[in-house]
Amino acid sequence: MTAYVSQPTRAFCSLLTACFVALGGAHAATEGSGQKPLDVPFVPTPQHVVDRMLELAQVGSNDFVIDLGSGDGRIPITAATRYGARAMGVDLNPERIAEANENAKKANVIGKVEFRNQDLLQTPISDATVLTMYLLPSVNMKLRPRILSELQPGTRVVSHAFNMGDWEPDRQEKVDGRTLYLWIVPARVAGKWQVTGKQGFEMQLEQEFQKITGFALVDGKRLAIDDGRVEGDRIRFSLDGTTYTGQVHDNRITGEGWSAQKI
């Protein structure tokens, strides 16, 4: 991801305006050439911000990082050189792809990273364990349904500067006035479940991103489910004073002393 539009603070306003002017020119030029217009203008993410993004995502050697809008390739290259991760960058501008490949060659990580000249909105992302981006809010919102449906639970998503609407981040922090957002893709748990264990009951869960609500039928009584949350494949909720924690495996949840099957 190396980047795209900067954070809309006063310090960046003039740069942001210049980028959009440039983007307008890029649209005019690409209309005549037949090349697809860029979704967002290229603005490099400072290296220390790149470093913190990857730290926030807790990137490791077993990860596959996909950077949407990779620019000069600094995020995939840093993921490979510093953490030993595999990485892929995607950018619509062939000049940026050529620059990224040259930078990867200099960093001696050609076997660890690749860069694709393609539309980020059409790029398959299901293999990513970490997704990074520095895009526009409108582009983030176009990606959000795919992030929630295509990425595996536990995949970490880090965005520089822009959020994803009413999907609250699991963590948010500032780096020299720039906002970083981290989301952990939640397992999908909405629906009806049959719980067995020390106490058997049926529960109906509703889910809004990582937050869950609902009710359970216990001995004929309807009880509210409180403090419900999903983080990756981990679920936690309270029922009638008892806290339940477990791990979600598709249509099954397993916890200590209890389990649940989707019905």
Q: 212-221, pLDDT tens digit by residue? A: 999 999 999 9
Q: Sorting pLDDT into bands at 50, 70 and 90, what band is 25?
A: very low
Look at residue 4 and tell me if it is in a domain.
no
Structural domain span for residue 248 = 191-262
Q: Are 19 and 88 part of one and the same domain?
A: yes
Q: Is the pLDDT of residue 156 over 60?
A: yes
Is the pLDDT at 12 greater than 50? The verdict is no
What average pLDDT does this structure show over 34-50? 79
The confidence score (pLDDT) of residue 36 equals 61
**Residue 2 counted as domain residue:** no
Same domain, residue pair 162 and 232: no
Do 156 and 224 sit in the same domain of this protein?
A: no
Task: Say whether both 132 and 15 belong to one domain.
Answer: yes
Around Cβ 7, how many Cβ atoms within 10 Å?
A: 18
21 or 131: which carries more pLDDT confidence? 131
Altogether, the residues listed in the chain come to a count of: 263
Q: What is the mean pLDDT of residues 5-10?
A: 37
- What pLDDT digit, counting tens, does each position of 93-134 carry? 999 999 999 999 999 999 999 999 999 999 999 999 999 999
Q: Average of pLDDT values for 55-72? A: 98
Q: What is the 3-state secondary structure (H, E, C) of 144-162?
A: HHHHHHHCCCCCEEEEECC
Q: Are residues 163 and 198 in the same domain?
A: no
Residue 138 falls inside a structural domain = yes
Asked, for residue 176, whether it belongs to a domain, the answer is yes
Same domain? For 120 and 227 the reply is: no
The answer on 245 and 229 residing in a single domain is yes
135, 166, 184: which is the final residue of a domain? 184
Among 165, 184, 203, give the residue marking a domain's end. 184
pTM of the predicted structure, to 2 decimals: 0.86
Rounded percentage of the chain residues whose pLDDT exceeds 90: 83
242 pLDDT above the threshold of 90: yes
CATH number at residue 128: 3.40.50.150
Q: Pairing mode, if any, of strands 201-208 and 191-197?
A: antiparallel
CA pair distance 248, 206, nearest whole angstrom: 15
pLDDT at 6 exceeding the cut of 90: no
Domain count across the chain: 2
**Shared-domain flag, residues 38 and 151:** yes
Among 48, 96, 52, 95, which Cα is nearest to 70's?
Answer: 96
Same domain, 156 and 257: no
